Amino acid sequence: MVRVGAGRVVLGVTLGAVLLSGCARFDDRASSPFTTEPTWQDAEPKTTTPKAPPSNAKRPDLPCVDPDLAVVVSCLDTTGGLVALPDGGSALVAERTTGRILKVIATDEGEPPAPVEVARLDVDPAGDGGVTGLALSPTFGEDGLIYAYVTTPTDNRVVRISTDGGVPKPILTGIPKGPNGNRGSIDFSSHDRMLILTGDAGNPSLAGDTGSLAGKLLSINSPAPGAAADVVVSGIGVAGGVCSDGKGSIWITDRTATEDRLQRVGADGVAVKAWTWPDHPGVAGCAAATDAVAISMTNQKALAIATADKNTHAVTAAPSLLAQDKYGRLDGAAIGGDGNIWVGTVNKPDGNPNQYDDRVVRIPPPTSGQGNGPD
C-alpha cells in the first residue's frame, strides 16, 4: 500500500487496491419498484421511522420561505458539503463558494428557523472548488470537531474546525489543484479511520500516478495535523462522494470521460464497479444505509437509490429515482437521524434557480413500490 503524507511519498511499496472492470448500464425505463424495502438507518440510528410533517401543516407566505414542507432552508448560496447532526433534526451545510458552514434546523410548520453560521473558511471557489465535503468527528458530542474538504489558492486540503472557534488546523495538505476536478468528499468508516475522496484536478494522468494525492480514495488513521494518508483506490475522475455504512461497505462515486460510476470498496481494499451511467447524470454526494446507497444527481436532477444484496453487496437492478425534477440539481447527501435523506441543491449559478434556491431538502426514503420518476 502506498503511504502518502502532506507532500511526501514513502516509496518501495505497491498499490494495494486494484480497480476491476465490470460494467452495468443505467436505463431509467428499466427501474422497478422495490420488492424489499431498504433499511435506511445509520450505524447507530436515532430514529428508524422517518418523520412526516402533519397533514395540516402550513408555512407563512414570506420571502425565502419555501411552501414545500420538505424544504429545511431556502435562499442559500450554492451548497457544498452536507452532514447530519446527531440530534436527528438538524444538519451542517456548507456554502461552497462563500466558505460558510451553517447549522440548519428542520421544522414541520411555521417559519423555518434561520440558519446559524458555525464557521467561515477562506476558500478559492473557482471552477468546482470551495467547501465541498464535511464530516463530523466520531466523538463530535464531546469535542465538537468538524472536518472539511476545501480548496485554497494553492491546493486542496482537509482541515479541522472547532465549533468553539479558533484557526482551522490543516490535517492533509498538498492535494493537487486544477481548473476543475477540485471537488472532494470525506467520511469516517470507523471511529479512528477517515476516508478522503479526491478529484483528478482536471488531469486524468494524476489519478494513476501513485506519487500524487489527486484522483484517489485515501485513508487516514487517527486524523491529526500532519497526518499521512494511505492510498486505497486510484483512478478517480471528478470526485462525487464517499460514504460508509459503518458495517464494512464503503461506496464511492465519480465521473470519468466515458461514464459516471458507483463503486464499492470491500474489506480487502478492492474496488468493484457496482453500477455505471454512460449518459453522465452527474453523480455527486452519497449516503449509505445497511443495504442501499442514495446518490445525488446533478444533471439528472434526482436522488438515485441503488439497493444492494445483503449477502453479496451486488447491485443488480437499475437504481430508482426519487424527487426527479422537483428540486433541481442535487449535490450533497446525508442520512438524517430523523430517517430522511437530506440533500443540498446547486441551482446557482447555472441551474435555472427559482426564488427559493439554493436549498436543503429532506426526501423520505423509498418504501416498497416507490421509485422511478418524478414525485
> What is the per-residue pLDDT for 373?
42
In this prediction, residue 20 carries a pLDDT of: 28
Q: How far is 175 from 236, CA to CA, in rounded Å?
A: 13
Q: Which of 195, 213, 206 lies closest to 265, judged by CA?
A: 195
3-state secondary structure 27-57: CHHHCCCCCCCCCCCCCCCCCCCCCCCCCCC
Task: Identify whether the C-beta of residue 198 lies closer than 8 Å to the C-beta of residue 214.
Answer: yes
Helix (H) / strand (E) element for 293: namely strand 292-297
Burial class (CB in 10 A: 0-12, 13-18, 19+), 187: buried
Distance, in Å, from the CA atom of 348 to the CA atom of 196, rounded to the nearest integer, reads 26
What pLDDT does residue 83 have? Answer: 98
| Per-residue model confidence (pLDDT) at position 321 | 97
Residue with cell 408555512: 59
Residue 163 has a CB neighbour count (10 Å cut-off) of 15
Give the integer Cα–Cα distance in Å for 272 and 284: 18
**Are 286 and 296 contacting, i.e. CB atoms less than 8 angstroms apart?**
yes
Q: Where exactly are the structural domains of the chain?
A: 3-8+37-238+323-363
Determine the pLDDT at residue 181. Answer: 97
pLDDT recorded at residue 204:
97
Apex 283 CA angle, 279 and 286, nearest 5: 150
Contact between residue 223 and residue 169 where contact means Cβ atoms under 8 Å apart: no
Are the C-beta atoms of residues 64 and 111 closer than 8 Å to each other? no
Residues of the chain with pLDDT under 70: 1-56, 368-375
CATH domain 3-8+37-238+323-363 topology: Neuraminidase (2.120.10)
The candidate with the shortest Cα–Cα distance to 108, out of 59, 144, 65, 60, is 59
The CA R_g of the chain, rounded to the nearest whole Å, is 19
Residue of 89, 144, 44, 59 whose CA lies nearest to 360:
89
- For 130-215, strand residue ranges (E) read 131-136, 145-151, 156-162, 169-175, 184-190, 193-198
Q: Is the peptide bond before 192 cis (omega within 30 degrees of 0)?
A: no
Residue 144 CA to residue 89 CA, distance in Å, equals 17
Model's pTM, two decimal places?
A: 0.86
- What is the predicted pLDDT for the residue at 310? 84
Tell me the pLDDT tens digit for each residue of 202-222. 999 999 999 999 999 999 999
